[in-house]
Amino acid sequence: MASSSRYKAVFSTRAKKEFLESWNWYEDCHPGLGDRFLKEVTNRVEIIERTPSRFHGVNHISS
């Protein structure tokens, strides 16, 4: 995620594992769907990193 944002998302080991399981599930449903899922999640995370004040419940830890 190339970004010049002030904030950087940090994911727990559990979240990373769940993401990989989700990617595999989508990919098993239809080849290429896992990559579409990855792209959408990446886009949303980049939005949160750029404008964290728009989202409630986000911990603001500057890098």
Element (H, E) at 3: none
| Model pLDDT, residue 30 | 97
> Cα–chain-centroid distance for residue 33?
16
| Model pLDDT, residue 5 | 47
| Model pLDDT, residue 7 | 86
The pTM is what?
0.72
| Model pLDDT, residue 62 | 55
Q: Residue ranges of the chain with pLDDT lower than 50?
A: 1, 3, 5, 63
